[in-house]
Amino acid sequence: MKTVLLKSVQLYDPDPKGICDLFLCGGRVAAVGQGLVPNLPGVAVQDGSGLTAFPGLVDQHVHFTGGGGECGFRSRVPELSLTDFTTAGVTTAVGLLGTDSATRSPKALLAKTKALNEEGLTAYCLTGAYDIPSHTVTGSLKDDVTYLSEVLGVKVALSDHRGGHPTLEQFIHMACQVRLGALTAGKPGVVHIHMGSGKRGLGLVYDLLEATDLPIWHFRPTHMSRWQSEAAAFARKGGMVDFTANADPEKCALPVLRTMEEAPLERITISSDAGGSMPRWSEDHCTMLGMGVGKMDNLLPTIRCLVREHRVPPERAIRLLTQNVADGLCLSRKGRLTVGADADVLLVDRDWNIHTVLAGGEIMVSDGQVVKQPYIS
């Protein structure tokens, strides 16, 4: 862990702070100001003139162990490596499972989460998958959330022909178990909802909210580009809505823009679905016509598109992948570059290309080149 002084960067923390020096020490942001000259030996000084600094990206929807599997064993997506994250500017991530929880498991996901933490990222995960009842590590949703420090909540699929189609009673029980475990462990208790394009939309979520006293804040529907007509209304009620970055940045940017116009900014986030399958199905859902794979490389171009093509102020666009996500996950030292925050820093050039990435103060990428390789490469 190095002591690093970044000089003369254009800083967004994510609020705009102008030209600043950023001093990173002990894995944290130690000082922010102008003309900083730390009186310490061994400080690595980097001239950041012409570069923009903002918090490392927080990606809350990543298939660490790979997704896919809807078109036979050959369609299983390989697991991700350290450099998939760092070269995309991601320093904090949440792993999850998808359709396939037979050849992938919560235990394997937890092991991969621990490995990424050992390699220098900050990694968490969700228990569960598409199946009902949910697959877990300990045999209990509540115990997974209570006793496993990396587990922040549960993943479930709704309105999707591949999903487990929980009944209202099953969905209520799942959410209550997560909430109880989260209260004990001091966690957010996320119910992360894969939203397919099926007929019910958010109907089951609203049924649960009507039938119980559970706070809407626990429920985090993602892939909301499919349901942009419902996204703003859900956010206005107090929920958080997540949109999936795409290889075509406009496909994410446009629904995000529409939602930003109608809902509080702090309740809107973007994630990558990296490592997850993006299948194209026939109209009757009987035949898969093709399959793409989500990539973290799609995140930063989406922010660039919002800023450059749609004139969104950088501080508003950056929040969608930093502070908003971190606050929603109750990660108080993530998603910001204020004094005391974790030293997760992304430096980009004038064209929004990645120049430098630091995770916990450790240089992962420098001058666009990988510095730290995966343990096994």
| Residue pLDDT, tens place only, 101-117 | 788 899 999 999 999 99
What CA–CA distances, in Å, run from 136 to 87, 139, 169, 176?
31, 5, 19, 15
* Burial (Cβ within 10 Å: 0-12, 13-18, ≥19) of residue 303: buried
pLDDT interval class at 288 (50, 70, 90)? low
Q: Which helix (H) or strand (E) holds 255?
A: helix 250-262
- As beta bridge partners, residue 19 has 10
Residue that wins the pLDDT comparison between 254 and 291: 254
Query: The whole model's pTM is what?
Result: 0.95
| Residue pLDDT, tens place only, 37-51 | 888 888 999 999 999
Q: What is the largest CA-CA distance in the chain?
A: 68
Q: Is 84 one of the catalytic residues?
A: no
Q: What is the pLDDT of residue 307?
A: 97
Question: Does residue 263 contact residue 236 with C-beta atoms inside 8 Å?
Answer: yes
| Catalytic residue (one of 59, 273, 327, 342) | 273
| Residue pLDDT, tens place only, 180-218 | 999 999 999 999 999 988 888 899 999 999 999 999 999
Q: Which domains does the chain have, with CATH numbers?
A: 4-55+335-370 (2.30.40.10), 57-328 (3.20.20.140)
Residue that wins the pLDDT comparison between 331 and 103: 331
Question: Does residue 135 contact residue 121 with C-beta atoms inside 8 Å?
Answer: no
In the chain, the amino acid numbered 161 is: H
DSSP 368: T
CA distance 174 to 168: 10
pLDDT interval class at 69 (50, 70, 90)? low
